[in-house]
Amino acid sequence: MIPGPYLADWNFRVLQELFRRFPHRETLDGMAQFFAHNALASTWIYAAVFYIFWRIEDDRTAWRRARLSEIFIAFCLATFATLLLRPWVGWPAPTLVPRFRQFYPQYFWNEGNQNCFPSHSTLTYLLVAAGFWPFRRWLSVLLIVWVFLLISMPRIYIGGHYPIDIIAAILWAAAATGMARLICTRPETAMFLKRIVSKGLLVEVFLFLWLFELGSGFHSSYWILGSLLRVARHMWH
């Protein structure tokens, strides 16, 4: 863990310009907190759209569900890569670093994560948004814009992330989406996905859990995973 982000001076200048143009005010701070902490206003739309497309019944249902499964595969790839990297690359949120604290009101201090790299929210919902490109391109673009305006920017504004965290999430999402697509174009993988999505109740139960976590930002999953990792580290030592 290092005390500040890579390209610290560049991040400093970007934040300096951002807050010069949009200085902290009670209204803007309240809006940013609202979208950063209120899943119903920002992230649940991705779970809702995913479910709507999953439930469409027509002659392309199997194909559509297989494409939606690619989103889950991309998410798994991105999450696995993140878990591998986090012990080696990471830094505290801006509100925890003295040099960057000057950009934020004191009521935002000490609320950030000890490791904010990359932006998991940006990564997760970009994966979902990009996954809708084969269905409705206008919808995919709209969801991508929604990610940046109502998910990424509020978290930067309240000091949860640096600009580099967002850029890393974008690159991560592009790589995971491309890798998932390559995996799923293999005939054996395509056949496997078609069999899986036709499993009925078992798939529906998993879908419910996945969409619940997707809508809420995977807070429960990350807490459980973090607890397991702490236990594993304690046992190891």
What residue ranges define each of the domains in the chain, with the CATH number in brackets?
Answer: 8-236 (1.20.144)
162, 116 Cβ separation under 8 angstroms: yes
Q: What is the pLDDT of residue 28?
A: 94
Instruction: Convert the pLDDT of each residue in 41-60 to its tens digit.
Output: 899 999 999 999 998 988 88
217, 122 Cβ separation under 8 angstroms: no
Q: What is the pLDDT of residue 66?
A: 87
Three-class DSSP category at 173: helix
69, 207 Cβ separation under 8 angstroms: no
3-state helix, strand, coil in the chain (%, to 5): 75, 0, 25
Regions of the chain short of the pLDDT cut 50: none
20-38: b or e for each residue (b if 16 or more CB lie within 10 Å)?
eeeeeeeeebeebbebbee
DSSP letter for 150, please: I
* Dihedral, 179, 184, 186, 189 alpha carbons, nearest 10: 130
Query: What span, in angstroms and rounded, lies between the C-alpha atoms of 165 and 218?
Result: 18
Residues whose CB is less than 8 angstroms from the CB of residue 118 and which lie 6 or more positions away in sequence, other chains included: 82, 165, 166, 168, 169, 172
Q: What is the pLDDT of residue 230?
A: 67
What's the pTM value of the predicted model, to 2 decimals? 0.89
